[in-house]
Amino acid sequence: MVYNAPITLNGGGGHGRGGCAEYCAEPHPPTADEDAPPRRQLTGAKTFVRSNPMSDLFGVERFDHIEFWCGDAKTTSSRFGLALGLNLVAKSDQGTGNYEFASYVMQSNEISMVFSAPYGNEHEAHGFFKAHGIAVRAVGVRVEDAAAAFEACVKHGGVAVTPPRVLTSGGKGDATGGTSTGKTIAEVRLYGDVVLRFVSGDYAGPHLPGYMAVHTEQNVSYGLRRMDHIVGNVPDLIAVRDYLMHCTGFHEFAEFVAEDVGTVDSGLNSVVLTSNNEMVILPVNEPTFNTPRKSQIQTYLEQNEGPGVQHVALKTEDIFSTLRKMREATVRRCFSFLDVFTRVWSSAV
């Protein structure tokens, strides 16, 4: 089939077209069993001992993409493109026969950011944007077998969102003229309204079958190479840590408590989870309390109306060169820099 759209931009309670009654559970991590052993608490960076048990439940390669849901996909994708040096490589919109929503794929080397927005208010994306504003809906991870990853994840407590489906090329929006085969995708809940999207397959076109390739005359680059880690904010760190470790097999790479990373005024607790190859790194933060100022994590949870992706760290070959180009782009009202960063940057160069 040709799927001419981002995978989960659907109505019907967020379970995608066709539903997933065979797998789907309540849209939150399962509550702790009263008979289960006590949850392990955080010890902090000073006593944490790093090890890699090679415990992944399925083959993991790297981050594939992230998808933002927003209100205006064209403007938002253009803004991020100017700010980060991303190029438009594919699209799915009315011009490709998609009259339900617009979706644009921006890319720099291995970094792929997808910006999608519905044309009407009947889709789940409309409510998502109303609650969270421009925010990450999906963290795409390239795996050896998306169907197998989904099955293993759900078997070990993962909350299903979209069961495995094979997307094939060959329609009006096909980027390769039907010469390649397809991709398999599946989704489980990550935290809050964010999903973990498994992607596998040998499709040669940009992003997914159904997207039309866009060729640009000038290839813009600020030197950004790949996504290094993607950080989420949640109200209960231990619950999310246990949920993700159990359903993916990911292990702890590091952990921090308020004494490690907090300030006199506010703080946070954090756990860094990662895959066997340490190419998919998912830190998770929670707020701490009883400080003079409200934790920045608590502020995020309130303003985002729940858990979500706080930031995406991007790897670059030369951070000074990249930031110089990003600063030049700020004159076009792209992104703005924090004052403290401006002072550090000025002293460094």
User: Cα–Cα distance between 55 and 242 in angstroms, integer?
Assistant: 14
- How would residue 292 be classed by pLDDT, with cut points 50, 70 and 90? confident
Q: Note the pLDDT tens digit of each residue in 76-110.
A: 999 999 999 999 999 999 999 999 999 999 999 99
Residues in the chain: 349
pLDDT > 70: percent of the chain: 81
Give the number of other Cβ atoms within 10 Å of residue 174's Cβ. 22
CB 126 within 8 A of CB 132: no
- How would residue 34 be classed by pLDDT, with cut points 50, 70 and 90? very low
Pair of tokens at residue 106 = 């921006």
Count of H helices and E strands in the chain?
A: 8, 14
User: Cα–Cα distance between 94 and 102 in angstroms, integer?
Assistant: 7
Topology of domain 60-213 in CATH is: 2,3-Dihydroxybiphenyl 1,2-Dioxygenase; domain 1 (3.10.180)
Tell me the residue type at 259.
E
Kind and range of the H or E run holding 148: helix 146-155
What is the per-residue DSSP string for 78-103? HHHHHHHT-EEEEEESGGGT--SEEE
Give the number of other Cβ atoms within 10 Å of residue 43's Cβ. 11
Residue 311: the pLDDT is: 96
The radius of gyration computed from the CA coordinates of the chain, to the nearest angstrom, equals 20
Mean pLDDT of 132-138: 98
Residue 335: the pLDDT is: 80
User: Cα–Cα distance between 270 and 265 in angstroms, integer?
Assistant: 17
The ranges assigned to domains in the chain are: 60-213, 321-349
pTM of the model: 0.86
- How would residue 244 be classed by pLDDT, with cut points 50, 70 and 90? very high
Residue 178: the pLDDT is: 43
Residue 170: the pLDDT is: 61
